[in-house]
Amino acid sequence: MAAQDVLGQTARLASSSALLQVLFRVVTFGLNAFTLRYLSRELLGVVNVRLTLLYSTVVFLAREAFRRACLSGSAKRNWTKTINLLWLTVPLGVFWSLILGLVWLYLLEVPDPSVVPHYQAGVVAFGLSAIIELLGEPFWVLAQAHLFVRLKVIAESLSVVSKCILTVTLVILYPHWGLYIFCLAQLLYVSVLVMCYVIHFVMFLGSPEATKKSFPVARVKGLLPSFVEDETFVNWKEARLTWSFFKQSFLKQILTEGERYVMTFLNVLNFGDQGVYDIVNNLGSLVARFIFLPIEESFYVFFAKVLERGKAVKDQKQDDVAMAANVLELLLKLVLLIGLTITVFGYAYSQLALDIYGGSMLSSGRGPDLLRCYSLYVLFLAVNGVTECFTSALMCKEEVDRYNFVMLALSLIFLCISYFLTHWYGSVGFILANCFNMGIRIAHSTHYIHHYFRESSHRPLTGLLPSPAVLLVYILSAGVTAFSEVLFCCDKGWMARLIHISTGALCLAATLVTMFCTETKLIHFVRSQFLSRYLKKGT
pLDDT at residue 13, rounded to an integer? 57
Mean pLDDT of 456-465: 88
Which has more pLDDT, 408 or 201?
Answer: 201
Rounded CA gap, 501 and 489, in Å? Answer: 9
Which has more pLDDT, 203 or 32?
Answer: 203
Rounded CA gap, 67 and 59, in Å? Answer: 11
Mean pLDDT of 123-138: 95
Residues 57/100, Cβ–Cβ less than 8 Å: yes
Q: At what angle do helices 367-394 and 428-452 cross, to 10 degrees?
A: 20
Residues 495/361, Cβ–Cβ less than 8 Å: no
pLDDT over 90 at 27, yes or no? no
At 454, which amino acid appears?
A: R
Mean pLDDT, the chain, rounded, equals 83
112 class by beta-carbon count within 10 Å (0-12 exposed, 13-18 middle, 19+ buried) = exposed
Nearest to 155 by CA among 35, 252, 17, 293: 17
At 37, which amino acid appears?
A: R
Which has more pLDDT, 237 or 346?
Answer: 346
pLDDT at residue 20, rounded to an integer? 61
Nearest to 45 by CA among 371, 427, 418: 427
The Cα angle at residue 525 between residues 522 and 530, in degrees rounded to 5:
125
Tell me how far the alpha carbon of residue 304 is from its chain's centroid: 19
Other CB atoms closer than 10 Å to residue 84's CB: what's the count? 22
pLDDT over 80 at 373, yes or no? yes
- Read off the pLDDT of residues 50-107 as tens digits, 9 standing for 90 and up: 999 999 999 998 988 888 888 765 556 678 888 888 899 999 999 999 999 999 999 9
pLDDT at residue 14, rounded to an integer? 59
Rounded CA gap, 411 and 156, in Å? Answer: 31
Query: In degrees rounded to 5, what are phi and psi of residue 310?
Result: 85, -5
Which has more pLDDT, 395 or 376?
Answer: 376
Nearest to 27 by CA among 158, 150, 156, 161: 161
Which has more pLDDT, 436 or 9?
Answer: 436
Percent of the chain with pLDDT over 90: 27
pLDDT over 90 at 538, yes or no? no
pLDDT at residue 245, rounded to an integer? 80
Cis preceding linkage at 490, omega within 30: yes
Mean pLDDT of 178-193: 94
Which has more pLDDT, 259 or 371?
Answer: 371
Pick left, alpha or beta for residue 426 (phi over 0 → left; psi -120 to 50 → alpha; otherwise beta).
left
pLDDT at residue 6, rounded to an integer? 60
DSSP output for 72-112: SS-S-S-HHHHHHHHHTHHHHHHHHHHHHHHIIIIISPPPP
Which has more pLDDT, 516 or 235?
Answer: 516
pLDDT over 90 at 217, yes or no? no
Mean pLDDT of 117-135: 95
Which has more pLDDT, 238 or 193?
Answer: 193
Rounded CA gap, 253 and 342, in Å? Answer: 25
| Residue 67 neighbours by CB under 8 Å, 6+ apart | 137, 140, 141, 144
Rounded CA gap, 358 and 12, in Å? Answer: 35
Lowest mean pLDDT segment, chosen from 75-79, 131-135, 381-385, 421-425: 75-79
pLDDT over 50 at 242, yes or no? yes
Rounded CA gap, 399 and 56, in Å? Answer: 26
526 class by beta-carbon count within 10 Å (0-12 exposed, 13-18 middle, 19+ buried) = middle
Where residue 3 falls among pLDDT bands split at 50, 70, 90? low
pLDDT at residue 96, rounded to an integer? 95
Rounded CA gap, 315 and 185, in Å? Answer: 51
Write out 200-225 in H/E/C secondary structure: HHHHHCCCHHHHHCCCCCCCHHHHCC
pLDDT at residue 535, rounded to an integer? 44
Percent of the chain with pLDDT over 70: 88
pTM comes to 0.68
pLDDT over 60 at 411, yes or no? yes
Rounded CA gap, 447 and 327, in Å? Answer: 18
Residues 234/215, Cβ–Cβ less than 8 Å: no
Nearest to 345 by CA among 149, 495, 506: 506
Rounded CA gap, 447 and 445, in Å? Answer: 5
Residues 206/52, Cβ–Cβ less than 8 Å: no
pLDDT over 70 at 11, yes or no? no
pLDDT over 50 at 537, yes or no? no
Residues 287/133, Cβ–Cβ less than 8 Å: no
Where residue 539 falls among pLDDT bands split at 50, 70, 90? very low
